[in-house]
Structure 1
Amino acid sequence: MLHAINCRYYTDPSGTFWQCNAKAIGSGSEGADSSLQEQYNKDLSLLEAETIALSILKQVMEEKVTPNNVDIAKVAPTYHLYTPAEVKDVISRL
């Protein structure tokens, strides 16, 4: 499972940490992480960030990106897990 996250720090299981703005974790993260680092900038809107994250996910996933196999959540100012309809809206922008 691949996750694209906006973070200030990333910690691996050994406890080593790195400062970062965006990070891909999970299977397929090597290619996704480099694409995410190239395309991310701190001035992205939420819509732009959603589109970039899903377009990268689409590149590395073996199966088609659908609301049934992708979850999107935003955590600020409060946590919100997107509904399948909201995920479908993001996918439609790809």
Structure 2
Amino acid sequence: MVEFSGLVKINFFKKEKFTGSCGGMCFKVESKDENSVLLATIWPGPYSSDHTPDEKKQYAEFAFSPEGLEEIQEWLEEQYQAQSALWKPVRIG
């Protein structure tokens, strides 16, 4: 289960990005358009977003609000369940 809403508040995203992973699915949440939108990005691990080709990434936009943050968490969970074949945990080394 993807759960981070208790870890960060909406104001966190005014200055920072939040990244994480769950069972091989990596994700990033960041503000966009001068804090009017939250952008959620997912991609298969194990590499960071910077080292993953754009064609492997999926994006969704949400309102920059506490409700938008809850919707992101729901979307992440839905994507994790719906695309489970993509999220194979990979060990490096």
Class of the TM-score when normalised by the shorter of the 2 chains: 0.3 to 0.5
TM-score (norm 1): 0.36
Judging by fraction of residues, say which structure has more strand.
2
TM-score (norm 2): 0.36
